Amino acid sequence: MQFHPEKCRIPDEIGKPFIDVDELWDYINKTESTPERVREIIQKSLDKNRLTLEETAVLVNTTDPTLVEEIKEGARELKRRIYGNRIVLFAPLYVGNYCINNCKYCGFRSSNHEQVRATLSDEELIHNVEALEEDGQKRLILVYGESPKYSPEFIAHTVNLTYATKKNNGSIRRVNINAAPLDVEGFRTVKEAGIGTYQIFQETYHPGAYAEYHPANTMKGDFNWRLTSMDRAQEAGIDDNGLGILFGLYDWRFEVLAMIRHTNHLEACFNVGPHTISFPRIKDASGLNIDTKYFVDDETFEKIIAIFRLAVPYTGMILTARETAEFRAKAIQYGISQIDGGTNLQIGDYKYHHEEEEKNSDKVEDQNLHREQFKIGDDRNLGEIIEELLDENYIPSFCTACYRLGRTGEHFMEFSVPGFIKRYCTPNAILTLCEYLVDYATPEVAEKGWKVVENNFVNVDEKFLDELKKRIERIKQGERDLYF
């Protein structure tokens, strides 16, 4: 195939596959990284421009340690300059692990008979949501295996129930979902339940590798059905999408370019890129036995995260508790905007853990891989994670304002509307932190938190500072859910 670096995409049609393996490999094989080009590209991103496939390929092909350091510094600078120091917190809630698929890397795969299967009953769901609220969570992602049990109606029901569950001052204000691809009708059903982001990971964008890990006789074996999920979600009116790659299945360089290609496709067809991107690395799972040839080491992973930050500068980036606390602390600098905290993957276990922690019991067990999807690297509770963020002067945020006010595309606005962060994001992050400090923090965390609040007044638009201070007082007096 002819290489056309000037061409950023093959023609896009809604609902049609858009990954051309040769085209992506051409970008990798025929693009050279020179110091001039790398610096020019970093600058382009710092000037608030999205990178093309060819420009991303230049960064991907950069191996000179000095230039890699410049890429990482570019990402750090972009984060500092544009996004400031908020980190959004959420928790995953696994609703059920029945699964008809047989993805080789996953503890839930149907051939894994050691996995203990469960689906939360309504009562269990309510108790787990209450336990999460009692920890201070405001944003959840509900996660499901793929099973006829988890129909769009069932998913919508669990979302509605989650929103309806309130314990003391607690409430879940944003429910995202990670579920198998639906048809357009199914997406309409879950949209009506008021989901935030619909998240689904392609796992690998390489059709050959995809076939290797997802047997053809399973639902998930259909590469194109999965690839075009977001097109159907958009058609159903869900414009808030989360893309993902599972690193370790194929060559990371190809996967990075393919995800940018997916972003181009969504922008070309729907005028809106993904709301978030995720890039989990494969972790140990019950009975896992797969080829480690494509596993990504820490050093490369840091570089990948920095490249994503520069390539899609206005997209939220999620790094989950699959990674260790140390790695997450490091990666946050390169532009991670969301992390989960207090994560517990065992179905129905938030309630149990909460009770044991309250009793100060030492019965809180280690992970049991036969009861969950994969091993996590960061099992700290939410309070510990918040404390670490505060120590680094980050503002832990549970903000859901834009989504609830219909300001969709907020990452884009943060990035492109002058003053948006000072006017909305920072004050809202501060208000949600204040709620946490009043309702859930230990005295030590609260002390650190109020200092961080004070320190960050300088990052708020002067015109709104008085009003912000009044609202903080109102929170101290018992009002909740105040936002700009």
Which residues are CB-contacts of 418 (< 8 A; sequence separation ≥ 6)?
none
**74, 96, 145, 181: which one binds ligand SF4 (CB under 6 A):** 145
**Packing angle of the helix pair 65-78, 35-46 (nearest 10 deg):** 10
Q: Closest separation between CB of residue 144 and ligand SAM, Å?
A: 6
What whole-number distance in Å separates Cα of residue 173 and Cα of residue 171?
Answer: 6
**Chain centroid, CA 304 distance in Å:** 15
**53, 89, 103, 395: which one binds ligand SF4 (CB under 6 A):** 103
379 binds ligand SAM (CB under 6 A): no
**33, 52, 85, 178: which one binds ligand SAM (CB under 6 A):** 178
Query: Using CB distances below 5 to 8 A depending on partner kind, what does residue 42 bind out of ligand SAM, ligand SF4, none?
Result: none
Show contacts with ligand SAM in window 295-324 (CB under 6 A): 322
Which region among 2-10, 58-66, 96-104, 249-257 touches ligand SF4 (by CB under 6 A)? 96-104
Binding mask 277-296 for ligand SAM (x = CB under 6 A): ---x-xx-x-----------
Query: Using CB distances below 5 to 8 A depending on partner kind, what does residue 133 bind out of ligand SF4, ligand SAM, none?
Result: none
Task: Check if the beta carbon of residue 134 is closer than 8 Å to that of residue 169.
Answer: no
**33, 373, 400, 456: which one binds ligand SAM (CB under 6 A):** 373
Binding mask 181-220 for ligand SF4 (x = CB under 6 A): ---------------------------------------x
What whole-number distance in Å separates Cα of residue 481 and Cα of residue 22?
Answer: 50
Which of 265, 163, 194 has its CA nearest to residue 224? Answer: 265
* Torsion sign (Cα): 448, 451, 453, 458: negative
Show contacts with ligand SAM in window 186-245 (CB under 6 A): 200-201, 203
**26, 54, 146, 255: which one binds ligand SF4 (CB under 6 A):** 146
Query: In which residue are the tokens 């858009």 written?
Result: 18
Applying CB under 6 A, the residues found at the interface with ligand SF4 are 99, 101, 103, 106, 108-109, 145-146, 220
